């Protein structure tokens, strides 16, 4: 049984133009699956359908063997957490208050957080390197600091499944690596299943167990990074020439851009 299964999902915003078309994928317990593809390929929409923010026009999403349609919003939040790429907070809550909000699905009607909730929040702030910001209002933080707060809040939910939409957005290089190393440790320790949308093919290559590549709302390839990230496929899907070789670590494929490699068709689209 898979931790998460997406089976034949289609979706459109206007009822006519498909954004997702018959998408199927699975993720096992303790697996990190990266979703890659060009702009407009449906990556973020897919995460929103998986989290049931959007309802598919056809197909099903299941946690284990339970379709999400049978679960309440609170039950879904207890089992799955979602970090958006454009998260924002309008009120000056402290970082600690924001992270503690991740415990809300487990509150079962309690008005205040328990000592256990507070301990979990503290642990996640330590993990994401924001403990020193605990009393600071989130509205006073940089974009990268806020992103780490939202990741900490999601981890505080202690979900079975973590959905990340461009988790490295706004993060500097060190915190990009730190974030994925944290996720790697949690996967090993708790069996956390992770779906991560990424534009960084090398980061996806280095940390993913499998990669799913989308284009025009459909899956064009899925499998281990070395099988999916080939120069031919990247040229076909992203319309740009790259060199794909082996990273010096000897394990993951490495994608290197060629200067002036964008195809004439894409250049024409950018100029228009």
- pLDDT for position 16: 83
First vs last C-alpha separation in the chain: 48
* pLDDT at position 272 over 50: no
Rounded Cα–Cα distance for residues 263 and 205 (Å): 24
**CA neighbor of 223 nearest in space, from 212, 215, 236, 237:** 212
Phi-psi region of 205 (alpha: psi -120 to 50; beta: other; left: phi over 0): alpha
Between these two residues, 168 and 9, which has the higher pLDDT value?
A: 9
The residues facing 34 across adjacent strands are 196, 211
Residue 97 has pLDDT above 90, yes or no: yes
Kindly report, residue by residue over 231-267, the tens digit of the pLDDT: 999 999 999 999 999 988 777 999 998 876 655 555 5
Span 27-85, pLDDT tens digits: 999 999 999 999 999 999 999 999 999 999 999 999 998 999 999 999 999 999 999 87
Task: Give the range among 78-87, 106-115, 162-171, 237-246 with minimum mean pLDDT.
Answer: 106-115
Q: At what angle do helices 115-127 and 143-156 cross, to 10 degrees?
A: 140
8 A C-beta contact, residue 161 and residue 4? yes
pLDDT > 90: percent of the chain: 69
Is pLDDT at 212 greater than 90 in this prediction? yes
For the chain, list the domains and their CATH numbers. 4-229 (3.40.50.300), 231-272 (no CATH)
Q: Quick one: tokens of 203?
A: 């980061």
Q: Torsions phi, psi of 94, nearest 5?
A: -75, 160
């Amino acid at each position: 049984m898979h931790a998460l299964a997406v089976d034949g999902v289609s979706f459109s915003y206007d009822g006519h133009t498909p954004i997702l078309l018959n998408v199927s994928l699975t993720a096992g317990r303790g697996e990190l699956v990266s979703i890659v593809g060009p702009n407009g390929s449906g990556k973020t929409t897919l995460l929103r359908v998986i989290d049931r923010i959007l309802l598919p026009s056809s197909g099903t999403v299941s946690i284990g063997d339970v379709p999400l349609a049978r679960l309440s919003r609170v039950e879904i939040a207890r089992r799955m957490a979602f970090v958006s790429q454009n998260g924002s907070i309008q009120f000056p809550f402290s970082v600690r208050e924001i992270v503690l909000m991740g415990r809300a699905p487990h509150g079962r009607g309690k008005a205040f957080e328990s000592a256990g909730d507070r301990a979990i929040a503290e642990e996640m702030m330590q993990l994401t390197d924001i403990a020193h910001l605990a009393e600071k209002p989130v509205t006073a933080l940089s974009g990268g600091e806020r992103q780490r707060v939202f990741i900490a809040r999601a981890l505080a939910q202690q979900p079975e499944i973590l959905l990340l939409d461009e988790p490295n957005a706004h993060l500097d290089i060190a915190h990009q690596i730190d974030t994925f190393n944290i996720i790697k440790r949690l996967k090993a320790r708790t069996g956390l299943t992770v779906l991560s949308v990424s534009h960084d093919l090398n980061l996806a290559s280095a940390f993913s167990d499998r990669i799913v590549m989308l284009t025009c709302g459909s899956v064009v390839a899925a499998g281990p990074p070395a099988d999916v990230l080939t120069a031919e496929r990247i040229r076909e899907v992203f319309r740009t020439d790259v060199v794909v070789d082996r990273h010096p670590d000897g394990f993951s494929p490495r994608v290197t851009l060629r200067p002036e490699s964008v195809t004439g068709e894409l250049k024409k689209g950018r100029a228009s």
